[in-house]
Amino acid sequence: MDISRRHLTRLALGAGALSLLTGVVPGWLIHAATAASPAPDPLALVDGELREAARAMLAQTFPPISRETLPAVRASWVPPPLLSAPAPSVTVRQVPGPPGAPAVAVELIGARPDSTPRPAILHIHGGGMISGRARNMTSFSQTLAAEFDAVVVNVDYRLAPETPFPGPVLDNFAAFEWMVANAGELGIDPRRIAIMGESAGGGLAAMVAQMARDSRTVQPCLLVMLYPMLDDRTGSARMVPPHIGTIGWSAEANRFGWSSFLGVPAGSDSVPAGSVPARLIDLAGFPPSFIGVGTLDLFIDEDLEFGRRLIASGVPTQMHVSPGAYHAFDFVVPEARIAREFTQAWKSSLHTAFGSQA
């Protein structure tokens, strides 16, 4: 069972598929070249099968993302329809939130309490810390539950700037703790819980893994980070080459997203402790990890560096780098060969962690 690739491609060519993942219409994310000399053609390095969608995304022109435009960005979400039976059913639950905070809404997918305990996935959606909803990724989560015969908990965490760090992280960690505490009721094998996220969701997944490590609770069996948002300094204190981050999530959007999340300007000398995965001093004790990213993604350097540091810390880590791929390319053009290879790589990592056959 798989999410409708034809449906996602139609959305991509209409410059809407990226909003399913990031919660932001691609046009809001286009990088405006400011260098004195002309920047290279942003399409020149794009994989051929991804180029048509990239051209459609680049053709969009909208005002920069800001507090004023954020409501319109959020209103632009176009979540795909839920998958019907025999796809796993979806139940919305309210689980206990962090101390002093509201309950956290989660989508519980594929739970079968009376079955033999099965693997589980805590899924954290993307959206630059400022947008997106669990509902954007419900059908995707249904495919995960079906393919891996797993319970999926898709978290609808609070967003910045209304709720800055640590609120969004604590919401997701609360959902993880709920999964562990109620494993028997949910039919979950607590030794086989993976944490997975895309973009900002990947960064939040890393923060949840850090909290699990530091709290000495049940440890995830795998951390899957797809083009994760890990370093606030990218595009602020540390600039990127002009061909990087041109298609998809941009340096401008990254500065706004991180500043909203941190409560201080992105790239500041001092940020709240534990708020930026790339600034963590010690990565030892993290769960086995998978990091996937494209060479044209704004996050390419920070993702490679985080993977290098995980490996140096003794963490079993798999890296998958897709040449000529921009941010969220696998959702934008899922039929492309490079997208299928990318998807197969992280799925293989999950199958191995769960002890199942791909």
| Residue boundaries of the structural domains of the chain | 5-28+43-354
Q: Which long-range contacts (CB under 8 A, 24 or more apart) does 25-28 make?
A: 25/60, 25/62, 25/73, 25/76, 26/57, 26/60, 26/248, 27/57, 27/60, 27/61, 27/62, 28/62, 28/63, 28/64, 28/65, 28/69, 28/73, 28/253
Q: Which fold has domain 5-28+43-354?
A: Rossmann fold (3.40.50)
What are 99's two structure tokens?
Answer: 């101390």
Between strands 90-95 and 104-109, the pairing is antiparallel
Q: Whole-angstrom Cα distance, residue 335 to residue 3?
A: 11
Interatomic CA distance for residues 324 and 195, integer angstroms:
27
162 Cβ contact partners less than 8 Å away, ≥ 6 residues apart: none
Backbone φ, ψ for residue 199 (5° rounding): 60, -120
Output the furthest CA–CA distance in the chain (Å, rounded): 65
**Given the DSSP bridges, would you call strands 90-95 and 151-156 parallel, antiparallel or unpaired?**
unpaired
pTM, 2 dp: 0.91
Alpha-helical regions (H) of the chain: 5-13, 17-22, 51-58, 70-75, 138-148, 167-181, 183-186, 200-215, 251-262, 300-312, 329-332, 337-354
- Return the closest-CA partner of residue 25 out of 65, 52, 55: 65
Tokens (6 digits) for 90: 């979806």
Q: Residue 39: its pLDDT value, please? A: 66
Contact 45, 156 (CB under 8 A): no
For the chain, 358 residues long, give each residue's pLDDT as a single digit of tens: 333 333 333 333 334 445 546 544 444 344 433 444 566 788 999 999 999 999 999 998 778 899 999 999 999 888 999 999 999 999 999 999 999 999 999 999 999 888 899 999 999 999 999 999 999 999 999 999 999 999 999 999 999 999 999 999 999 999 999 999 999 999 999 999 999 999 999 999 999 999 999 998 899 999 999 999 999 999 999 999 999 999 999 999 999 999 999 999 999 999 999 999 999 999 999 999 999 999 999 999 999 999 999 999 999 999 999 999 999 999 999 999 999 999 999 999 999 999 975 5
